[in-house]
Structure 1
Amino acid sequence: MTGRTLGCTKPLAAGSHLRDAVTMPAETAYHDEVGDLAGVNGEAAALAIFLRRVKHQQLFFANLQRPRNGGPPVGKQGRRVLKRASGPAPALVMRGWIQPPLFTTTRDYRTFERERHADLANPWLIRARRAARALGEARGWTRWVASDVDRALVIVLSGHAEGESIRYTEIFPALRGRGLPVGRTAEVLDQLGLFTDDRTPAVDRWLDRKLGAVAPGIRGEVESWARTLLDGGPRSGPRARQTAWTYLNAIQSVLLEWSSLYDHLREVTREDIIAARDAASGKQRESRVVALRSLFRHAKGNGQVFRNPTQRIRVPRQAGGVAQPQGQADIDQAVASATTPDIKLITALAGVHAARPKMIRTMQLDDVDLGNGRITVAGHIRPLDDLTRQAVLHWLDHRRTRWSNTANPHLLITQKTAVELGPAGKLWTTRATRNLTATLERLRVDRQLEEALTHGADPLHLALVFGIDEKTAIRYADSARALLGEPGEQASQ
């Protein structure tokens, strides 16, 4: 509409009247309006003097006015508190078709201000808060953790629209800067199908760091081999992460040397393998040959090489030294340093049941059977002695008092894992004997050696008591014979 804005002092009739009023000049419409008023009611003519002063009048249509900022502010600024609905949360109305985005934009949640941007009526936020309450009850969240997750959800979902995806790299700087939990918030968003983890996997960063300078033809097969070690393959199960790290570290220098000479693993000869073996010594030489044998076996199975150059290349295993018993003074020092319930239990499990640190921190509550006097360590059932029983009862009483609502099934938990389901960290477990001579590993070795010295150097007895494999049992039996001065068993020819 050009010229003057249409003046109107009464509702316009629908149809042609509105169309004619819009198309006629503004001045003509104004005089016609005054004439109509004078014809209908004589008193309206007295208003003509005032109506002539009205030059412009804004035309509005019904139910189209909206507050500029979506209504009065919520919280302290507006002095208005939204009441929680007593009934169930309103159901989300999902459309059958969503316009796919033409391109992806990055949202900056760091500029969020609760007084200005909070939208507590957002249906996705209502649903997320309900899911967070259910998850918190299942995990035993404290009220502080639940409050922090709720604050994070308000920041992330106040302006959320249907069809949008929330990425990890977007919420991390905003939540971490406010001291809010990123992982638990992402878990709630993932339950609703709103979360996308766009982080680079740790294994990819590790491989890029180790194989960045390796020739592409060699790197492709080495990367496939490393991923098979970690994740398993059609004919092999996954290996321990430490095994993959050890293998790749053992041959990294060899791969860099080959990259300057060859473009593919099929060019590597038997002489190259022997040269790589002779360049190392001791345990490093054995680890290098074992890793190369595993690599070329995988490449041969995938058809990347025509023959395995590591065949019939043997490295004699290093003879292990004689295990020595721990001094009594060192053991007394470790026992005296165990002053808290958790450290007492950790020390008892290592010194009495010869449990490794990983076995200790991954033990479940169901592994302790107080009624039948049994304990399960790494799948091996053992009788529960009085010392360990008292340590378990003391710890369970402390755990029940401090974390009464926790849902973590592990026996040993911390302040962090009490609101999660995972095990305690490695550093938290090994802190029990940190800076001491008698560490948890030495206490474990001393316990197995003591059993061999006390009940005879019988590998079958050691394997039955501690659930260890036959090679480990034979090694402890040989150490016990050497300490007792008995002749070792002669290997059959």
Structure 2
Amino acid sequence: MGRPRIYCDACYGRQVHARQRRPRPIAGLRFAEIFDEPTGRAEQEVFERLFDMAHVGSWSVETLRRRGEQLRRVLAANPAGDPIPLSQVRAELGNIWQSRIVARVLDQCGQLVDDTETPTRQWIDRRTVTLPPAFRHDVRAWLLVLHEGEERARPRATATLHAYFSRAHAPLTEWASTRSHLREVTQPDVTAVLNRLNGHKRIGTFVALRSLFRFAKRHRLIFSDPTRRLRVGAAPSRALLPMTDDQVDTVTATVVTPMQRLVVGLVAVYAARANPLRNLVLDDVDLSRRRIRIGGTIHRLTEFTHDILTDWLTYRHNRWPGTPNPHVIVSADSVLGTSPVTDHHLTWHLSLLGIQLEHIRGDRILQEALSTNADPLHLAIMFGLSEKSATDYAVLARRLIQQPVEGSALEW
């Protein structure tokens, strides 16, 4: 196995920090030492649940009391004792971030009613209102079907909705000056829009418009699909720029927390993607036999990955010993349940520092290809790549071997 370039024990080693005064933990304290006597059975139940949640999350006394005050405010605004609407909780506490713990406690006690729309539905309403009236209703219905799915159509990711709408918005705005309905848009109209574009923007716009008009034809909003017989060819090759030594040094010097070291280390050694890392559970790790299963592929733990994994699991156990979450990577929020961390949590702090996991992953595969004579079969087996992806990396490695140009982007 080729040696990953991001492999610096000194940079990934244990960090020694000065002792800082930490808030007083709730471990060993009783319920009555923190909260006043609840006024009723329902209030007793929710405060006991909050107290249990604080133990699981290893909150400080100050944090628990602050959450308790927020909970009392919400309960005081609903003296009748009926289930509390989520919109009322958010209105009372100010925003979604402040209200999430209180809402979770009430929900687990059966005292919450979710009367809000999902953030994606709110986004759809906000964006479609900016469209010309001629297309507004039909485009909104299209986005809702993409979001929620329908018979024989699975829901699409929120990022897909954002991409499709951003590509379709400009053509729809242009057509609104001469067209009063989607059924009036013709094939020459679509062709004229596509001919002004090139590269990935051309491909992306065509895919978005094809999705919109297929939806409209399926639901009998138009008589014929103007994109049906159009072809725009294959997407152009993307450029992959191998990481420079300076970039590698920056990454190894930047990641300092146990979670950052684990995530970047697993990507740098096993070319793991973010989603399999988010869904990695404790049963996938076998420290005694030095094995780890990532995305269905079993890897041998090296000394490096064994050390960073042990460091993280030790930190995880010490920080949240009572969490029921079975996932290896957890956060202060996810330890209260059993769901994996969000992709936002996994990559946000790294992205702020300029660390792109996909760039590290691509560089790792490329370095392996260069060290094994660009063997696509070896790449497919080692990293669980598809036949096409393994071949693409092998071709790129051969190109680099034949024409090594320092600092140049190689197409693949």
Map 1:186-201; keep pairs closer than 5 Å: 186-201=103-118
Matched position secondary structure for 2:326: coil
Residue 128 of structure 1 aligns with which residue?
46
1:367 aligns with 2:271: no
1:392 aligns with 2:309: yes
Shift of 1:416: 4.4
Shift of 1:242: 1.2
8 Å CA contact retained: 2:125, 2:140:
no
Residue 4 of structure 2 aligns with which residue?
none
> Cα distance 1:335–1:472, how it changes in 2: closer, same or farther (>3 A)?
same
> Counterpart amino acid of 1:175?
L
Structure number with bigger Rg:
1
> Cα distance 1:332–1:127, how it changes in 2: closer, same or farther (>3 A)?
closer
The CA distance in 2 between the partners of 1:332 and 1:464, in whole Å, is: 29
Shift of 1:479: 1.1
Residue 450 of structure 1 aligns with which residue?
367
> Cα distance 1:316–1:397, how it changes in 2: closer, same or farther (>3 A)?
same
**Stretches of structure 1 lacking an aligned partner (at least 5 in a row):** 1-82, 85-113, 487-493
Q: Which deviates the most, 123-132 or 141-150?
A: 141-150
Paired positions, count: 370
Map 1:215-226; keep pairs closer than 5 Å: 215-216=132-133, 218-226=135-143
Residue 407 of structure 1 is aligned with which of 312, 324, 327?
324
Map 1:259-270; keep pairs closer than 5 Å: 259-270=176-187
The CA distance in 2 between the partners of 1:280 and 1:158, in whole Å, is: 58
> Counterpart amino acid of 2:177?
S
Residue 344 of structure 2 is aligned with which of 407, 426, 431?
426
Residue 89 of structure 2 aligns with which residue?
171
Map 1:334-349; keep pairs closer than 5 Å: 334-349=251-266
Residue 213 of structure 2 is aligned with which of 282, 296, 310?
296
Residue 156 of structure 1 aligns with which residue?
74
Residue 232 of structure 2 is aligned with which of 311, 315, 318?
315
The CA distance in 1 between the partners of 2:348 and 2:79, in whole Å, is: 47
1:70-96: CA deviation from partner (whole Å, max 9, x where unpaired):
xxxxxxxxxxxxx97xxxxxxxxxxxx
8 Å CA contact retained: 1:452, 1:458:
yes
Q: Which deviates the most, 321-330 or 463-472?
A: 321-330
Residue 203 of structure 2 is aligned with which of 278, 286, 302?
286
> Cα distance 1:467–1:221, how it changes in 2: closer, same or farther (>3 A)?
farther
Share of identical aligned residues, percent? 32
1:235-294: CA deviation from partner (whole Å, max 9, x where unpaired):
122222212211111111111122332232221111111011112222111100011112
Residue 172 of structure 2 aligns with which residue?
255
Shift of 1:440: 2.7
> Counterpart amino acid of 1:156?
V
> Cα distance 1:458–1:299, how it changes in 2: closer, same or farther (>3 A)?
farther
Map 1:111-126; keep pairs closer than 5 Å: 120-126=38-44
The CA distance in 2 between the partners of 1:379 and 1:220, in whole Å, is: 43
Residue 270 of structure 2 is aligned with which of 331, 338, 353?
353
Residue 463 of structure 1 is aligned with which of 369, 380, 392?
380
8 Å CA contact retained: 1:363, 1:377:
yes
Shift of 1:142: 5.4
1:92-135: CA deviation from partner (whole Å, max 9, x where unpaired):
xxxxxxxxxxxxxxxxxxxxxx9xxx993233323333444455
Q: Which deviates the most, 404-413 or 241-250?
A: 404-413
**Stretches of structure 2 lacking an aligned partner (at least 5 in a row):** 1-30, 404-412
8 Å CA contact retained: 1:363, 1:410:
yes
Shift of 1:301: 2.0
Residue 194 of structure 2 aligns with which residue?
277
Residue 440 of structure 1 aligns with which residue?
357
**RCO greater where, 1 or 2, for CA within 8 Å and sep 6 or more?**
2
The CA distance in 1 between the partners of 2:53 and 2:125, in whole Å, is: 37
Please report the TM-score for the alignment, with normalisation by the length of structure 1.
0.66
8 Å CA contact retained: 1:449, 1:480:
yes
> Counterpart amino acid of 1:126?
Q
Residue 80 of structure 1 aligns with which residue?
none
Q: Which deviates the most, 142-151 or 188-197?
A: 142-151
